[in-house]
Amino acid sequence: TPEYIAPEMLSGTRHNKAVDWWALGILLYEMLVGIPPFYSDNINQMYLFIQSKKLKFPADFPADAKDLISRLLTRDPSKRLSDGKKILAHKYFAAVDFRKLLSGQFTPEFVPDLQGEDDQYFEEEFTQQCVAPTVCRKPRGPSALFQNFTFQTEEEHLKWAVEEYLG
């Protein structure tokens, strides 16, 4: 997704897992503001913004969130906050009990009332759109592209990350 691409990917330089921490910063910003920080309708302009536009926050943006996101969205990957333990220990997450979260004992502030196929939590703009079928081509033959790749569910990965952090 163009909005989440890290600057080092756009410049064609080597990259590592720091690109994922960049994407987390974009996601956190978008969740708090409602739009990605470098968004533009023009993809090429958005790529330029990702590489050079100053990161701006609304005036009432929480200070701890601003600090965390600024450190995640540092353009130089060698200076970017890229340590999972340090991210989980950041002040922004001080109120989160990761042990309770991991064990399913965490109660969210909002729990939607889901009884049946209800669309009350979606904007009408989206529920009134026509659904266009997507045609997928069948893959051609076996592919060696994914050899030696593994898969972890989000729950498995979160459990590992929290256990790694909490010891």
- Residue 157 confidence (pLDDT) above 70: no
Rg of the chain in Å (alpha carbons): 19
CATH architecture of the region 2-111+119-166: Orthogonal Bundle (1.10)
* The residue type at 69: I
Report the pLDDT value the prediction gives residue 114, as an integer from 0 to 100: 74
- Residue 134 confidence (pLDDT) above 90: no
- Residue 6 confidence (pLDDT) above 80: yes
Mean per-residue pLDDT for 26-37? Answer: 97
Whether residue 64 contacts residue 92, with contact meaning beta carbons closer than 8 Å, is answered with: yes
What is d(CA 55, CA 57) in angstroms, rounded to the nearest whole number?
7
**11: which 2 tokens?**
């410049």
pTM of the model: 0.71
Q: Which of 10-14, 125-129, 156-160 has the highest mean pLDDT?
A: 10-14
Mean pLDDT of the chain: 87
What is d(CA 161, CA 137) in angstroms, rounded to the nearest whole number?
36
Where are the domains positioned within the chain?
A: 2-111+119-166
Max Cα distance, the chain (Å): 54
More confident residue, 84 or 157: 84
**46: which 2 tokens?**
């958005």
Residues 162, 76, 40, 68: is their CA dihedral positive or negative? positive
Whether residue 65 contacts residue 83, with contact meaning beta carbons closer than 8 Å, is answered with: no
* Residue 104 banded pLDDT, cuts 50, 70, 90: confident
